[in-house]
Amino acid sequence: MATLDVRPRLLDALSALRDRVDATRFPLPLPGAARARRSRAELLAQLDDYVVPRLSAPEAPLLAVIGGSTGAGKSTLVNSLVGRRVTEAGVLRPTTRTPVLVCHPEDRHWFSGRRVLPHLTRVWMPVQDGPQGSGHEAYGAPYDDPYGMRDGRAGGGAGLGLRPGPRDGPGRGSGLGLGLGGDGAAGAYPARGLHGEYGGYTDGAGHGRYAGGYADYDDYPGLGGIGAAGSRAADYVPDEPYDALVDSLRLETDPALPRGLALLDAPDIDSLVTENRELAARLICAADIWVLVTTATRYADAVPWHLLRTAKEYDVTLITVLDRVPHQVAVEVARKYATLLEEAGLGGVPRFTIPELPESAGGGSGLLPASAVAALRDWLARRAEDPVARAAAAARTAEGAVAALRTQVPALASAAAAQHSAAVRVAQRVVDAYARAEERALREIAQGAPLAGDALTHWHCYPRDVAPGALLDALASSLATLLTCVVSAADAQIDLASQRDPAAEATLPPRDAAGVAGRAGVAARHWRRCVEELAEEEASVAERATPPDPDAVAALAVTGLLGGRRARAAGEALADMLGVHGALRLRERGGRLLEECVRRVLDAEQERLLAPLDALDIAAEQQADLIAALSVLRKEHPHAAAWPPARHASERRER
């Protein structure tokens, strides 16, 4: 089965897989996490920029991305293939510039929208070397032109294009066109927004005088009149130089390119600017054909070969250009380069050699002689003009990308499983430590540990020299100290068990002894007030001639709850004041509140430790969702790794 003969269910499966990949996160600094994040970004770029757009529109033009190292001559090569300067060949290194895409005018609508490379803003620039008297078209503003205006450039032509219909749906807009210069007469007509994505389209004939005749244009947004001596006008000319624009793609059109082919001049794959390298990698992922440009002095560098190995992994349609080869060593360099390709399993990749010429330096016109690029141009033209070769080139790259998912997605799933496992390990370590802390706290309270130190001194002096309030203060402080010590011990256990654990180091917050003491003190005082309220309630219903003092009842109750066996006298005195049933009732209710107080303090500290980990939202379903989505894709496309033998043989013959 060929991928381009795709059923809607395959696109649905790819879209579902894309959503699962997008939802996957690798926040923990585990071994392999950085690679997983890069793989995730590359996979999303491959799906968004190439696989889904190509399978959705198999008839779209081929996109050949010209990529390579700094100074390899990519821009000069693109200019020479087009026949005029459409992109600036940089002199200073590293070169930082906006990528340039050039296509035939009738193919412009394929790239003016967001079909491919949706993250890049389209920028329209004037022709740099517009021929005089060529009668180039003057197009109207694109749908995303915020001003709805464009200026004529280069030659005698000028154009005015008003903004067409809304982008996101049908609607009316104006597409008034005006052509000036030479013998051109003005033509004007309305435009209607038939397709929201591409703006207004003409719904009738727009007549502009062209070389003595009339021409009708029915399928271009805001098409204006044509001047015989005019040149193409820019749809959107920014105030700042286009090289300074960020996240943008400059579009150029030229009738010299065959229909069905677009060239994209990408940034350097080894640029010192990180954003440039990332953009270059993403542009290459959007290509039907990878054109790797290297030079006689750099063909053995590591970066281009990493790109070649990636191309082999994806089984893409790949060609290589050995540029700037001195005549004296041309045969030897070509032989060594061919040997390296054979050893890498890429011996069948088409190779083109371009000699070192004065035009290669970039200081001249930036155009190589037509004969120097004729073989490469013919190879690309055959792929664009021959329907079988064109389908084979696009289908092979699409097949390779889909087949690569079989290894990429399981690797992501494995990394996602490692993330979840590490998160569970860290969380379980904290939960276990605080479970032991709770057992310890309740055990020590039952043994009377809080009735020690200052609290014990106050109890020995009660009631002769110590008031109930002072005893309650000392007991609440002692309870807070116990809870603080228990939390500190649990944190120490967690720290010891988390040594050399990158997940714990990245997520667990630092210890906060002062904060723990403050929070424990607040909880202990709150429990004390609750017991005082219970004591007041029990004192009010005590069957005694003289109602007992609620403060004294509370002091005895708290002492009995925190003192263990050492506070047996407090329990006896409380029974005398409230009666046996009242004393038992108060002790039971106060004991439940004490356990709740301990658990509330420890739970709050546990949640504080786990909050950063919980915020990462490392779901257990990530691995299962990825594998399930891949399984659905395999059912819809069971032979992704298989390529029709006849098509492979055809490509080998053409090479």
φ, ψ dihedrals at 320, nearest 5°: -120, 145
**pLDDT over 70 for what percent of the chain?**
75
The H or E element spanning position 164 is none
The more confidently predicted of residues 634 and 586 is 586
641 pLDDT more than 90: no
Q: What is the mean pLDDT of residues 225-253?
A: 49
Tell me the three state secondary structure of residue 321: strand
pLDDT at 516: 96
At residue 272, the 3 state secondary structure works out as coil
- Average pLDDT estimate for 194-217: 28
Give per-residue pLDDT as tens, 324-383: 889 888 889 889 989 988 888 888 899 999 988 876 654 445 689 999 999 999 999 988
Taking residues 176-192, report their average pLDDT: 31
- Reference 52, options 405, 555, 383, 372; nearest CA is 405
> Residue 368 corresponds to which tokens in the numbers above?
């190589």
> 202 pLDDT exceeds 80?
no
Structure tokens given for 94: 């590293």
- The CA-atom distances, in angstroms, between 437 and each of 425, 446, 602 are 18, 14, 8
Rounded distance, CA 62 to CA 287, Å? 8
Partner residues linked to 193 by β-bridges: 171
For 41-82, what is each residue's pLDDT tens digit?
888 988 888 888 888 888 889 999 998 888 788 888 999 999
pLDDT tens digits, 405-417: 888 899 999 999 9
Closest by Cα among 384, 544, 558 to 472: 558
Residues 18-55 as b/e (b if ≥16 CB within 10 A, e otherwise) read bebbeebbbbbebeebeebbebbebbbbbbbbbbbbbb
Mean pLDDT computed over 575-603: 95
Q: Read off the pLDDT band of 90 (50, 70, 90).
A: low
Cβ atoms of residues 226 and 184 within 8 Å: yes
Specify the higher pLDDT residue, 618 or 196. 618
Contact (Cβ atoms closer than 8 angstroms) between residue 415 and residue 36: yes
- CB contact at 8 A, 137 and 105: yes
Contact assessment for residue 605 and residue 520, using Cβ atoms and an 8 Å cutoff: no
Instruction: Give the pLDDT score at 148.
Output: 31
Prior bond of 126 cis (ω within 30°): no
Query: Distance between CA atoms of 585 and 581, rounded to whole angstroms?
Result: 6
Q: What is the rounded CA–CA span in Å between residue 181 and residue 56?
A: 42
Sign of CA dihedral 201, 203, 207, 213: positive
Q: What is the pLDDT of residue 504?
A: 94
Tens digits of residue pLDDT in 118-169: 888 888 755 444 433 333 333 333 333 333 333 333 233 333 333 333 333 3
pLDDT band at 232 (very low <50, low <70, confident <90, very high): very low
Between 425 and 270, whose confidence is greater? 425
pLDDT at residue 239, as a whole number: 39
What's the whole-model pTM score?
0.67
pLDDT tier at 184 (50, 70, 90 boundaries)?
very low
What integer best gives the mean pLDDT of the chain? 77
Mean pLDDT of 426-445: 97
- In this predicted model, which residue has the larger pLDDT, 234 or 332? 332
Residue 6: which residues within 8 A CB-CB, separation 6 or more?
55, 58
Section 1-10 average pLDDT? 59
% of the chain exceeding 90 in pLDDT? 45
Return the axis-axis angle of helices 387-446 and 621-636, rounded to nearest 10°. 160
Residue 89 binned pLDDT confidence (cut-offs 50, 70, 90):
low
Tell me what pLDDT residue 96 has: 42
Between CA 295 and CA 373 the distance in angstroms is: 15
Q: What is the mean pLDDT of residues 431-452?
A: 96
> Which range has the worst mean pLDDT, 128-142, 239-253, 412-426?
128-142
Q: Which of 190-194, 244-248, 262-266, 292-296 has the lowest mean pLDDT?
A: 190-194
Mean pLDDT of 593-622: 95
Residue 200 DSSP label: E
Q: What confidence tens digit (pLDDT) does each residue in 518-528 have?
A: 999 999 999 99
**What pLDDT score does 134 carry?**
33
pLDDT of residue 94: 47
Q: Quote the CA–CA distance of 645 and 398 in Å, as a whole number.
A: 16
- Dig out the tokens for 459 from the structure: 């109890």
247 near 120, Cβ under 8 Å?
A: yes
